Every structure is written in structure tokens, then in C-alpha cells.
């Protein structure tokens, strides 16, 4: 076999050929260099020609039994191998071989776990198995499952999305009840995991079992009386005449125009969901006629990807919402061509959820949000053109989720973290620190007031030691998930050392920034740190040693590393 034929086998082939001659000549140092890079081509595939040239020279000497010449140029070849390795990988990663070996020695291989999960999923994709599991469902579980058939075929669904859907369409369901129903359907493979190899192990997204569309299955489901969940879809200009028994309207066509001309009288709808529409056109006063509307979900909640484009022909429909006395949920997530929210939106006193995430054209919000006293979730993240944060956020004492809270210059946001101290019900919080922000050393100590906080994300849009040196971030005892994005510090701060992490913390994500090392100079062998999941992504200055990482966090069960200094990609599961 020529060395160039299969780069993956190049080094192993040379090592086998060395075995024949190594007893006669002292080639241990050459063998050592080859051993260090034996898995190199499995990790990187670019810039390999220079290294292959060197390996081809070695192969020529071995195949022609020209050992004297090999001994003569041995030192030069070893040097060329080291130099080529440095070009293949980022600076400082010449000891890549030791990292590879350390990774391979950790626990069960990721491939074994991945294959096991895939086999389980494949077993579930049998129409006969599906029918058996479906027929075992009682009336209540059938009702919940069949409501999911309104989603487009092959839709990828987050768990939180399913909870919201069931609460709105089937009937309000508390989190404990939801977990029971969800686990019941998932255990019977009516819902299956979705995603790449990673998500087969750490499941975050799901799909309805594809067997639901099988020709031997679908007719029986369509005839099942339990399917009558009061939902109307197939929004087309035809003879469909929905009646008052339909409480929810599903927009499942690519282009949708909502008007009474289609026979879609808007007076009785309680929920409107966009599950497939990219272009929304509202007829004059169509929205204003709805008097019972509770849920208006027009954004990209189901396909939460920037690639899923949604736009409206006009902002006028927003002004027609002013008389919606029952509206509890409003989502405009990711919708283009919305530049301003009318003041009447902030007068919807029963509103509990307001989702404006990724409204990239949004520039202006009403001045004061304090009248939304029932608001529980507010998402302003990725609204990069917003001129300023609305006043009164600190008065929304029922808030449980606050995302996109900006600390910036006084012209855009006069807020400090201390302003959130009265929001005692906050469970999820994301903070963005912008250019011009003034951060006091004790600013983050205010987080100690948020005793219910479980998920915290802090992102930095600035760089400089003044945003890290001397600043202490208080991590609450209930915190379960911490995400730091664009952290400008070069070394691990004391508050992020394993011994100082709360026992409740299970997941740590570090994305982007200037961090150079996870090593804080000591190993704490106490059992105080219970961290199970670590993700390190886009940290170009960070050198990751998987073995040291496990020593820092002994309870680790899943690690994902992507685009760091010495590794392009690594996934590991214990």
C-alpha cells in the first residue's frame, strides 16, 4: 500500500514496517515521533500534503531497505514531522499525541454509546411496534399525542415547545404533569430523539415517530375520535368552514393571508399558531375582531433557526391588538419588518409571555413596561438594533424568565444588575454587557438576591481586564446551568474554580472569549463539585487537556470541545 493512498493508515503502516528493522537499528526516537501522531489524520484533514511528503520519504527508505540513509537523515525527518504537525494543528499543540491518548482512555467510547442509542431508535421505527404502543395509550395520552400531528412532517421539536403546545391547545398542564405525560410517550417510542450523533446521547430535541405517517398507521389515527382537539388547520381558500368548536388556528401554508373572505371568521379563535408560514398578510381589522384570543404565536418557535425566514407585510396588525383583554402569550420571534412596537402592547395587562427574540429590525419599544404586572417571561435577546431597554423591568416581580437584559451605556440602558434584586421569582436570566458599560467590582453580588435562579447566561460584547479583574460573580446555591459567552479574561477566575462552584451546578458552557487555560494551578480533590456536562467552543487561545479536565471535574459524564487551540472537535461520554 502506498503511504498516500490512505492517510488514515499511513502512520500505522510505518509502525508495522518499523517492527521488522527496529531490533537491528536504534530507531526508538523515530518510532516515538510516529506514535505521537498515529491518530493525527483522524482529527485534522487539512494541510496534510507536507506531512505526507515526509512520511513518503520514510516509507521509501523502509521499502528499499535503505536503513543507513534513514539513520543519516533521521534527526531531520523527526524535525520535519514536528514542524508539519504544528502546521496541521494550532500553535502549542505538538503534544497532540498525549491528548489523543488521554481522550481515548476516558470511560466508554462515544462511538459505543452512539451505536447503542441508534439501535434503540431504529428498533422503534417499525409500524407494527408503533401500533402496539399507540393502542396501549389511554384516552388522555392519546389526546396529547394526537395534538402533535398538527406539526409539519419531520418537524424537530424542543421539549419546552411541546409543553407550551399542550398547555395552549389541549389544556393547561403543570410541569409535573407534563413530565409524566412526556416520559410516558417517550418511553413507548411515540416520540424519538432527533439530531446528530451527540444528541443521541444528550437528547435535547425530538421528533414524532415517523411511523405515524406510514400508510398502515395514518388512516386509523385520522379516524380516532380522540383527535378532536378543537384545532383547525389546512388554511387554504376552499370549502373548509370551521365552526366554533375549533378553538385553535394553525398556519401551515408557506404564504398566508388572513381575512374573512376565506370563511375564517376571526371572532372565536383563542389561539393562532404559525407552524409553517414564512409570509404573513393580515386583512384589515381581522385581528381587531378577535375578542377571545389568548395565544398569538406568529414567530419561529417551532423552527428556531435563522434560516427560517418569516416576515409580515405590515406592522398594522400590532395596533389592532390593543383590545385583546384575554391575550396571555405573544411571540414575534425572528419576524422581519417589525421596526416598532406600539404602546398598546405594553397595556395588555393579562400578558404572561412576550417573546421578541431575534427581531433584528426592531428599533423601538414603548417607554415603560411596568404595567405588564402578570408578565412571567420576557425575551429581548438578539434584538441588536434596539435603541434602549424599556423602563420598569425592575417592577415586574412575577418574572420567571428574563433574556436579553442589557447593561450598556447610559444612553441605551441605565440598568445595573442590582436593579434586578426585587425579581425574586427569576429562574432563568441572560445578561449582555455592552461597550460603555460601567461595572462595579461588587455589581454581580446582587445575584445573591435571586434565590430561585437556576439558569444563568452572561455574554460580553467588550474586552479588557477591567471587565474581569477584581470582579466577583456570585453563583447561587440553586444554579444548575451556567453559560459564559465572550468571557474576556485569560485565566480562570476564582469564582469559577471547581471548589467554588455550587454543588447544584450540572452544566458549564464556555463560548468564545480570551480564556487560555482551564488550569487554576491546583487540583481540588474534594467532592464539592458535581459538574456533569462541559462544553468549550470557539476558544482559539485555549489549550484543552482532556485528562486534566476530568481531574478538575471528577463527576463529568459528557464533554464537547469545538474549535479550541489544540482541538478542532472532541466529544466524550463516560
Domain boundary residue among 346, 373, 389?
A: 389
Does residue 330 fall inside a structural domain? yes
Same domain, 383 and 257: yes
pLDDT tens across the length of the chain (574 residues): 566 666 777 888 888 777 777 666 677 778 888 877 776 666 555 456 667 778 877 877 787 777 877 887 787 778 778 777 766 654 444 444 555 554 454 444 445 555 555 555 555 567 888 888 888 888 888 888 888 877 777 778 888 888 877 876 666 566 667 888 898 899 888 898 876 544 445 677 888 888 887 877 877 776 665 454 445 454 433 333 444 445 678 887 888 888 766 555 556 778 888 888 889 998 888 888 888 888 898 988 766 666 678 999 888 899 989 888 889 999 999 998 999 999 999 989 899 999 999 898 898 899 899 999 999 999 999 888 887 888 999 999 999 999 999 887 765 557 888 889 899 999 999 999 887 777 777 778 888 889 899 999 999 887 776 666 657 788 888 899 999 999 888 888 888 888 889 989 999 999 999 898 887 656 555 567 889 999 999 999 998 888 888 888 888 888 999 999 888 888 887 7
Asked if 525 contacts 531 with a C-beta cutoff of 8 angstroms, the reply is no
Same domain, 156 and 36: no
Same domain, 305 and 374: yes
Does residue 261 fall inside a structural domain? yes
Asked if 444 contacts 475 with a C-beta cutoff of 8 angstroms, the reply is no
pTM for the predicted model, two decimal places: 0.70
Domain boundary residue among 389, 405, 430?
A: 389
Same domain, 283 and 373: yes
Does residue 159 fall inside a structural domain? yes
Does residue 196 fall inside a structural domain? yes
Same domain, 286 and 383: yes
Q: Classify the phi-psi angles of 43: left when phi > 0, otherwise alpha if psi is within -120 to 50, otherwise beta.
A: alpha
Cβ-in-10-Å burial (0-12, 13-18, 19+) of 46 comes to exposed
Does residue 256 fall inside a structural domain? yes
Does residue 153 fall inside a structural domain? yes
Same domain, 354 and 288: yes
Q: Which three cell numbers stand for residue 386?
A: 434596539
Number of domains in the chain: 3
Same domain, 269 and 382: yes
Where are the alpha helices (H) located in 22-92, listed in sequence order? 28-36, 40-43, 49-63, 67-88
Same domain, 152 and 271: no
Closest CA to 414 of 406, 402, 426: 406
Helix, strand, or coil here: 333? coil
Asked if 272 contacts 251 with a C-beta cutoff of 8 angstroms, the reply is yes
The CATH number of residue 291's host domain is: 3.80.10.10
Same domain, 348 and 273: yes
Determine the angle formed by the axes of helices 127-135 and 110-124, rounding to 10 degrees: 70
Q: What is the dihedral of CA 138, 142, 143, 146, to 10 degrees?
A: 180
Q: Which three cell numbers stand for residue 184?
A: 410516558
Same domain, 131 and 169: yes
Q: Which domain holds residue 45?
A: 7-88
**CA–CA dist 556, 469 (Å, integer):** 28
Does residue 304 fall inside a structural domain? yes
Name the strand (E) or helix (H) holding 113: helix 110-124
Q: Which three cell numbers stand for residue 558?
A: 459528557
Same domain, 274 and 316: yes
The CATH number of residue 198's host domain is: 1.10.10
Domain boundary residue among 59, 88, 117?
A: 88
**CA–CA dist 223, 238 (Å, integer):** 22
Asked if 562 contacts 190 with a C-beta cutoff of 8 angstroms, the reply is no
**CA–CA dist 373, 192 (Å, integer):** 39
Does residue 62 fall inside a structural domain? yes
Same domain, 278 and 379: yes
Amino acid at each position: 500500500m502506498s503511504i498516500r493512498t490512505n492517510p488514515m493508515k499511513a502512520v500505522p503502516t510505518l509502525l508495522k514496517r518499523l517492527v521488522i528493522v527496529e531490533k537491528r537499528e536504534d530507531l526508538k526516537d523515530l518510532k516515538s515521533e510516529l506514535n505521537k501522531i498515529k491518530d493525527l489524520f483522524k482529527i485534522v484533514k487539512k494541510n496534510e500534503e507536507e506531512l505526507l511528503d515526509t512520511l513518503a520519504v520514510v516509507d521509501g527508505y523502509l521499502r528499499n531497505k535503505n536503513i543507513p540513509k534513514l539513520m543519516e537523515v533521521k534527526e531531520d525527518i523527526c524535525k520535519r514531522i514536528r514542524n508539519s504537525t504544528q502546521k496541521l494543528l494550532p500553535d502549542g499543540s505538538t503534544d497532540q499525541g498525549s491528548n489523543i491518548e488521554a481522550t481515548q482512555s476516558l470511560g466508554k467510547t462515544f462511538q459505543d454509546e452512539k451505536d447503542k442509542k441508534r439501535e434503540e431508535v431504529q428498533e422503534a421505527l417499525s409500524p407494527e411496534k408503533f401500533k402496539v404502543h399507540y393502542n396501549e395509550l389511554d384516552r388522555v395520552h392519546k389526546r396529547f399525542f394526537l395534538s402533535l400531528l398538527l406539526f409539519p412532517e419531520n418537524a424537530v421539536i424542543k421539549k419546552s415547545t411541546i409543553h407550551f403546545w399542550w398547555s395552549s391547545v389541549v389544556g393547561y398542564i403543570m410541569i409535573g404533569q407534563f413530565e409524566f405525560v412526556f416520559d410516558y410517550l417517550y418511553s413507548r417510542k411515540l416520540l424519538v430523539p432527533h439530531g446528530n450523533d451527540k444528541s443521541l446521547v444528550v437528547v435535547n430535541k425530538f421528533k414524532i415517530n415517523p411511523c405515524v405517517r406510514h400508510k398502515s398507521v395514518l388512516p386509523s389515527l385520522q379516524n380516532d375520535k380522540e383527535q378532536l382537539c378543537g384545532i383547525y388547520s389546512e388554511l387554504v381558500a376552499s370549502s373548509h368552514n370551521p365552526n366554533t368548536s375549533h378553538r385553535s388556528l394553525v398556519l401551515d401554508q408557506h404564504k398566508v393571508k388572513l381575512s374573512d373572505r376565506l370563511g375564517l371568521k376571526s371572532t372565536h379563535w383563542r389561539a393562532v399558531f404559525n407552524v409553517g408560514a414564512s409570509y404573513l398578510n393580515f386583512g384589515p381589522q381581522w385581528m381587531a375582531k378577535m375578542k377571545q384570543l389568548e395565544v398569538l404565536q406568529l414567530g419561529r418557535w417551532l423552527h428556531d433557526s435563522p434560516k427560517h425566514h418569516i416576515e409580515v407585510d405590515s406592522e398594522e396588525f400590532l395596533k389592532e391588538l390593543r383590545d385583546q383583554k384575554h391575550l396571555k402569550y405573544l411571540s414575534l420571534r425572528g419576524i422581519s419588518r417589525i421596526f416598532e412596537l406600539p404602546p398598546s402592547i405594553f397595556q395588555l395587562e393579562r400578558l404572561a409571555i412576550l417573546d421578541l427574540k431575534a427581531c433584528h429590525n426592531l428599533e423601538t419599544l414603548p417607554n415603560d413596561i411596568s404595567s405588564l404586572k402578570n408578565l412571567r417571561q420576557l425575551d429581548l435577546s438578539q434584538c441588536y438594533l434596539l435603541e434602549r431597554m424599556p423602563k420598569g423591568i425592575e417592577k415586574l416581580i412575577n418574572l420567571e424568565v428574563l433574556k436579553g437584559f442589557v447593561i450598556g451605556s447610559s444612553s441605551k440602558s441605565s440598568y445595573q444588575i442590582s436593579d434586578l434584586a426585587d425579581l425574586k421569582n427569576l429562574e432563568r436570566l441572560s445578561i449582555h454587557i455592552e461597550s460603555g458599560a460601567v461595572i462595579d467590582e461588587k455589581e454581580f453580588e446582587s445575584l445573591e438576591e435571586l434565590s430561585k435562579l437556576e439558569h444563568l447566561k452572561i455574554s460580553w460584547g467588550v474586552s479588557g481586564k477591567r471587565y474581569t479583574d477584581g470582579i466577583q460573580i456570585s453563583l447561587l446555591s440553586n444554579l444548575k446551568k451556567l453559560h459564559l459567552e465572550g468571557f474576556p479574561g485569560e485565566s480562570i477566575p476564582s469564582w469559577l474554580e471547581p471548589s467554588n462552584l455550587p454543588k447544584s451546578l450540572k452544566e458549564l458552557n464556555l463560548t468564545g472569549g480570551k480564556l487560555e487555560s482551564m488550569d487554576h494551578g491546583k487540583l481540588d480533590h474534594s467532592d464539592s463539585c458535581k459538574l456533569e456536562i462541559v462544553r468549550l467552543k470557539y476558544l482559539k487561545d485555549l489549550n484543552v487537556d482532556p485528562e486534566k479536565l476530568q481531574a478538575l471535574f471528577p463527576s463529568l459524564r459528557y464533554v464537547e470541545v469545538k474549535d479550541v487551540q489544540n482541538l478542532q472537535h472532541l466529544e466524550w461520554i463516560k
